[in-house]
Amino acid sequence: QVQLVESGGGSVQAGGSLRLSCVASGYTYVLYRMGWFRQAPGKGHEGVATIDIDGGTTNYADAVKGRFNIAQDTSKNTLYLQMNSMRPEDTAMYYCAAAGDGGRWSEFADFGYWGHGTQVTVSS
């Protein structure tokens, strides 16, 4: 099994920045890809950004391109999401996710491991 624990959420004003972290533990050697999803109230899970663990290929949702940056520190089994120029529409619960193969990067169902989430609130 793989366990994912997020941290770093909070409240920020529009234009501000936050950095999320996710520490993976357990059988991390099975992982192919890690990423971040978010879920706003009343909406489904939205793929935000992912990174392939070997090779570092990244994917971003159009809504966050140029503002968010995903990175990993494989020596620490830690995933990061640096969020800059934040907007009220970025308000959501953010989840760390991991997959054992290279499925559809933005598809919720293609990720088998999930953290409990961390709340991010952006005020205008």
What mean pLDDT comes out for the span 100-114?
91
Distance CA 68, CA 19 (A): 9
pLDDT tens digits for range 112-124: 999 999 999 999 9
Biggest CA–CA distance in the chain, Å, is 41
Cα separation, 111 vs 93, whole angstroms: 17
The tokens of 22 are what? Answer: 């996710």
Query: pLDDT digit string (tens) for 1-59?
Result: 999 999 999 999 999 999 999 999 999 999 999 999 999 999 999 999 999 999 899 99
pLDDT at 108: 87
Three-class SS state of 33: strand
Collapsing DSSP to helix, strand or coil, 110 comes out as helix
Tell me what the mean pLDDT of segment 81-103 comes to. Answer: 96
The count of residues in the chain is: 124
